[in-house]
Structure 1
Amino acid sequence: MRPPADQLSGRKSIMRNHTTYPDFTCVLAEREDGEPVGFAYGFHGAANQWWHDVIYRSLSEAGGPEAAMGWLGDTLEIAEVHVHPDYQGKGTGRAMMHALCDGRPERTSVLSTHDRRTAARHLYHSLGFVDLLTRYVFPGGYERYAIMGAALPLKGAQDAARDA
């Protein structure tokens, strides 16, 4: 995602902290020579996690606490999905999403992505994710995001298991 250099230490700290969350899982996509070309990770979302609490409040305001609990009450929060540009559009992201989500015990999965027409957003929609909030700006931020959610297992999970 090429964040500004001044954000790198903060992002590394956030990612390091995420590894301590319940049921943290990370997947890595590699070339045949072992060179990484992508990674994705997530964890069980719960109260007192910053992203979870911020989105819970926003979903409650938009649709009521029942809607927020329906999406976030038992969820896999996907925090990061990154694919090297040379490997985008070739199934790497889809394979990582299935590897991350398939077999999880949670009822739903939620994530945030830039609120633009991107390959990532197209991928998420094709996996069954729907827009929960759009044009969303996180507290202290300025970029617009889409908050998306999907029921688990993801759309195409049986096909992914068969093709593995």
Structure 2
Amino acid sequence: MIELRRTGPEGFTAALDTVIEIYTAAMRPPAEQLTGRQGIMRNHATFPDFTCLLAETDGDVVAGFGYAFHGAPGQWWHDVVRRALEDRAGRDAGLAWFGDALEIAEIHVRPDYQGKGIGRRLVQGLCEGRAERTAVLSTHDQPTAARHLYRRLGFVDLLGAFVFPGGYERYAIVGATLPLRPVA
């Protein structure tokens, strides 16, 4: 049985070692990137309306996590992605998707717990009851289980083959209007 436990910035910061362990198992990033990723995550916890969900087993194993916050000008991801969307689709598109958006920054599940609905529950839980008009996130621009999940939840592609400044991987920027489409 998996239970979702909501925590704010303090609880998230206290669980950061576990969060990084799950991120590493799920994403397999180069070791030299982990210190920077940890700093980014710690900074995200200072953003407006930050919330985190920890997916915990009966045996107190954290099987996955997700966190989100209210996107705002001055946040790196928000500014970079909104500018790219406005360049491709116009100012109105940027305002429609990013003018009042919940930014889902991270959703990760330990590999041995994937495929059990935990990711879906994390996304739905982060979006549930939020006052924002939209939810936005970035994901690898490949036909992955995550991309399929986001589509089932009502997310649509806003930008494809997007490469972040200084990066090399291709991402899809996706968005959904809130509340999310119900999916069992």
Q: What is the one-letter code of the residue matched to 1:43?
A: F
Q: How do residues 88-127 of structure 1 correspond to structure 2 at under 5 angstroms?
A: 88-127=114-153
The answer to whether 1:71 aligns with 2:97 is yes
**SS of match in other structure, 1:112:** strand
Deviation string, structure 1 residues 106-160 (Cα, Å, up to 9, x no partner) = 000000000001111111111000000000000010000000000011110xx66
**SS of match in other structure, 1:100:** helix
The runs of at least 4 consecutive aligned structure 1 residues that moved more than 6 Å come to: none
Question: How far apart, CA to CA, are the structure 2 residues paired with 1:85 and 1:128?
Answer: 24
Deviation string, structure 1 residues 64-116 (Cα, Å, up to 9, x no partner) = 01101100000000000001112211111111111111000000000000000
Q: What is aligned with 1:61? A: 87
Gaps in structure 1 of 5+ consecutive residues? none
Deviation at 1:2?
1.5
Deviation string, structure 1 residues 38-59 (Cα, Å, up to 9, x no partner) = 0000100000000000011101
Q: What is aligned with 1:145? A: 171
TM-score relative to the length of structure 2: 0.84
Q: Given the alignment, which residue of 15, 18, 24 partners 2:41?
A: 15
What is the percentage of aligned positions where both structures have the same residue? 65
**SS of match in other structure, 1:53:** helix
Q: Please, what is the CA RMSD of the aligned residues?
A: 0.9
TM-score relative to the length of structure 1: 0.94
Deviation at 1:7?
0.2
Gaps in structure 2 of 5+ consecutive residues? 1-26
